[in-house]
Amino acid sequence: MPNVITAEDMDAEVLATYPTDAFLSREYLEAEKRLLWPKVWQMVERLEDLTEVGDWLTYNVAEESVIVIRIAEGDGAEAFNAFHNVCPHRGRQLISVPDGVHSVRGNGRKNFICGFHGWTFNLEGENTYILDPQDWDDKLTPEMTCLSTIKLGIWGGYIYINMDADCEPLAKYMGRAGEILDHFELSKMRYKWRQWAVYPCNWKTAIEAFLEPYHVAGTHTQLLAYGNYYALSKQYGWHSVSSYDTRDTEFKMNESSGTTRAGVGDDPRRSTYELIRENYETINFAASTETLVNAASRLVDELPEGTPPAEVIAHWMKSAKVDDAARGVVWPEIPGEIMAEAGLAWGLFPNQNILHGVTFALCYRVRPYGDDPNKCLFESYALERFPDGEVPQSEWVHAEPTGENWGSVLAQDFSNMEFVQKGMKSSGFRGPMPNPHQEQKVINLHRNLGRMMEGRGAPTKLLP
């Protein structure tokens, strides 16, 4: 189809649109159940949740439910098994997953016993017990009675699964995005907090609200007092990245200082502190760390008036790094060119967002919820590097989408998402016109959906 947007078109920032079907129609949601979720690599959980042999959990997406269990020590994929959560006899879920739960979990598991007729399976998924097998003339084979296994991969301290036996390896799928993020050693970070909610919009409406910083000026108006939020975004195949940018071409070369940058104002010592403190406190203590905020608070004492912004940032980073080292948090050494390419935040196809710092990450994941294209299971969590022995206890907490529970900035995002979902249903809506420079991650999400979904929902050129 000549009109369909390609990766090259996106690099050239060709104007694009895509159909709202992807957000609104049940037919599209049904197609996702067949063409997307059973065929794409998707993140299940952090490794830290399955530390002991026998620890297990369910991962549920659309109509699919998967069991992941640790079967050995170590952090490689071979230390885990993943199975479809279904008994091969007559199809009962092996682990009951009631509607409206985040996941079902347990530990110390030695086998799986189906609650219906008692068929039993070991942790390799092999059938070890059938009541009255002679009734089948003893003709049932191990292949007929074992659990259905699923491919599993590990990246960045996350467990991933792919239900497609012929899928490409996870590392290849992560591609350059994975290589860049590897420098940030996400695998050494641990949960600081994690929350989920059922939210009234499509899963894509939700994830897109966190894909682009173009909305910051219109939605998070209070943040404009502290920083500029002009952004660029760029497709990286399946995945995409956004970075701070400047409207002024004269300064184009020194874009991208990610989450650590100077604020607006005459005195970068003060404005940097104000920016980072505001972000930290209003984004639920996730978009920075206490060490970084404290080090920024000292800039005004440690540096003379008139210190240029670049030197302020360099000093801030250096002193925060020393502070962290003193408490046993060693920063990864990240080459400057990787820092620049890494930008501010990654969208990992299909449903994972990571806003990464050197010692922290603010992350989102969204999944469809039941049969309703107007609902999703929304999750956000903060990762941070902690000293040994000081990792906080955390578990998934159900939290209604309010500012009290999620911080005032997320509450502002929540205040849009539901009404984007409603607004797109208007017969007067002519279709999305995403910003080709600042919202390219959104376009790329739809381009990749089109690739998975036999062309459904693929972005096309806005102009002939």
- In the complex, which residues of this chain contact Fe ion (CB under 5 A)? 413
- Could you say which of 26, 34, 73, 90 contacts ligand FES (CB under 6 A)? 90
Quickly count: other Cβ atoms within 10 Å of residue 76's Cβ: 11
Q: Can you tell me whether residue 411 is helix, strand or coil?
A: helix
Asked whether position 83 contacts ligand FES by CB under 6 A, the answer is no
Residue among 8 and 138 whose Cβ is closer to ligand FES: 138
Residue among 3 and 111 whose Cβ is closer to ligand FES: 111
Measured distance CA(462)–CA(335) in Å, rounded: 39
Q: How far is the CB of 66 from ligand FES (least distance, A)?
A: 17
User: Which one-letter DSSP state was computed for residue 332?
Assistant: P
Q: How far is the CB of 114 from ligand FES (least distance, A)?
A: 3
Asked whether position 114 contacts ligand FES by CB under 6 A, the answer is yes
User: Contact, 195 vs 401, CB < 8 A?
Assistant: no
Residue 413 binds which of Fe ion, ligand FES, none (CB < 5-8 A, kind-dependent) = Fe ion
Measured distance CA(101)–CA(60) in Å, rounded: 9
Residue 417 binds which of ligand FES, Fe ion, none (CB < 5-8 A, kind-dependent) = none
Within 13 Å of residue 157, how many CA atoms lie on the same side as its CB?
19
Integer distance in angstroms from the first to the last C-alpha of the chain?
13
Q: How far is the CB of 451 from Fe ion (least distance, A)?
A: 27
User: Contact, 171 vs 154, CB < 8 A?
Assistant: no
Asked whether position 119 contacts ligand FES by CB under 6 A, the answer is yes
Ramachandran bin of 151, using left for φ above 0, alpha for ψ from -120 to 50, beta for the remaining angles: beta
Residue 89 binds which of Fe ion, ligand FES, none (CB < 5-8 A, kind-dependent) = ligand FES
Q: How far is the CB of 151 from ligand FES (least distance, A)?
A: 24
Asked whether position 87 contacts ligand FES by CB under 6 A, the answer is yes
- Could you say which of 3, 7, 96, 117 contacts ligand FES (CB under 6 A)? 117
Measured distance CA(414)–CA(408) in Å, rounded: 10
Using CA of residue 383, residue 223, residue 344, residue 102, what is the dihedral sign? positive
Q: How far is the CB of 219 from Fe ion (least distance, A)?
A: 6
Q: How far is the CB of 104 from ligand FES (least distance, A)?
A: 17
Q: How far is the CB of 448 from Fe ion (least distance, A)?
A: 22
Asked whether position 96 contacts ligand FES by CB under 6 A, the answer is no
Angle at 32 between CA 415 and CA 460, to 5 degrees: 75
Asked whether position 92 contacts ligand FES by CB under 6 A, the answer is yes
Task: Spell out the residues 6+ positions from residue 387 whose beta carbon is closer than 8 angstroms to its own.
Answer: 327, 328, 329
Quickly count: other Cβ atoms within 10 Å of residue 423's Cβ: 13
Asked whether position 126 contacts ligand FES by CB under 6 A, the answer is no
CB under 6 A: which stretch of 86-94, 275-283, 431-439, 445-453 binds ligand FES? 86-94
Binding site for ligand FES (CB under 6 A): 87, 89-90, 92, 114, 116-119
